[in-house]
Structure 1
Amino acid sequence: MTAITIYHNPACGTSRNTLGLIRNSGQEPTIIEYLQTPPDRATLLRLIADCGLSVREVLRQKETPYDALQLDDPKWRDEQLIDFMLKHPILINRPIVVTPLGTRLCRPSEEVMEILPQPQQGAFRKEDGEAVIDAKGQRIEQG
């Protein structure tokens, strides 16, 4: 088995769909419920860097204290934004998935397929019913 880790929030549909796609590839990941077990500073910095994103791109705005903390103010430096994420892990956007092929913020959930070491094993539908993988394990292109 290949080592896959998902920084997961079970209350998040995108995170649940991403976990489902990982499992649909025949893999069982290590699941870190990051709201209960937040990453430390070094791990968070490494995840952000490995995703190739800026700190602001990993900062979740929706359903968080983002507005109350006025984090849209450009005065906040990356180090300070990381401090906020560590104090309020809900500010860390999710899910972040780590595989031997890379690290990715999987929004939308289909992003995970780009870094899975094994192909999809069969049909998969998101929780909302949207078909994303056909019976042959092939991605269904939307639109």
Structure 2
Amino acid sequence: MKATIWHNPNCGTSRKTLAILEETPGVDVEVIEYLKTPYSRAKVAQLIADAGLTPADAIRKMGTDAEERGLPDMAPDAILDAMAANPAYVNRPFVETEKGVRFCRPQDKVREIL
């Protein structure tokens, strides 16, 4: 099974999620460091929707100026535009497999799609 993780190596939850993926037999892991290889707007919209979230649910507030900029109160399309322009506004980690997409907070949520 292929699993793709949108990863930030500086994030403990992201590292723990990646470790679960790497330790699971039969999982071929693709790691995308999204701060180096940003999301397309279409991809971030698809991940958020497939995870059952709204763009407002997926905003990373800690360590960003998202709240100061009023991002949580913006229209969904405006939030997605901001996320595509600055991937730091996307909370992490997201993991996608053939079984679906999960926003892996806590990291054990990844097991639902393995």
TM range (shorter): over 0.9
2:58 corresponding residue in structure 1: 58
Q: Number of paired residues?
A: 113
Tell me: higher relative CO, structure 1 or 2? Use CA pairs within 8 A at least 6 residues apart.
2
Deviations along 1:68-94, one digit per CA (max 9) or x if unpaired, are 31223x3x1111111111122111011
Show structure 1 runs of 5+ residues with no match.
117-143
Q: Deviations over 1:117-141 (max 9, x none)?
A: xxxxxxxxxxxxxxxxxxxxxxxxx
Instruction: Indicate the residue corresponding to 1:29 in structure 2.
Output: 29
| Structure 2 unaligned spans of 5+ | none
Mapped to 2, the partners of 1:88 and 1:43 lie a distance apart of 14
* 1:18 counterpart residue number: 17
Give RMSD over aligned pairs.
1.1
Structure 1 residue aligned with 2:90: 92
Higher helix proportion: 2
Give the structure 1 partner of residue 45 of structure 2: 45
When Rg is computed on C-alpha atoms for both structures, the one with the higher figure is: 1
TM-score scaled by length of structure 1? 0.75
- The percentage of counterpart residues that share the same residue type is 41
Q: Secondary structure in 1 aligned to 2:61?
A: coil
Spell out, residue by residue over 1:99-125, the C-alpha distance to the aligned partner (whole angstroms, 9 max, x if none). 111100000001101111xxxxxxxxx
Segments of 4+ moved more than 2 angstroms:
none
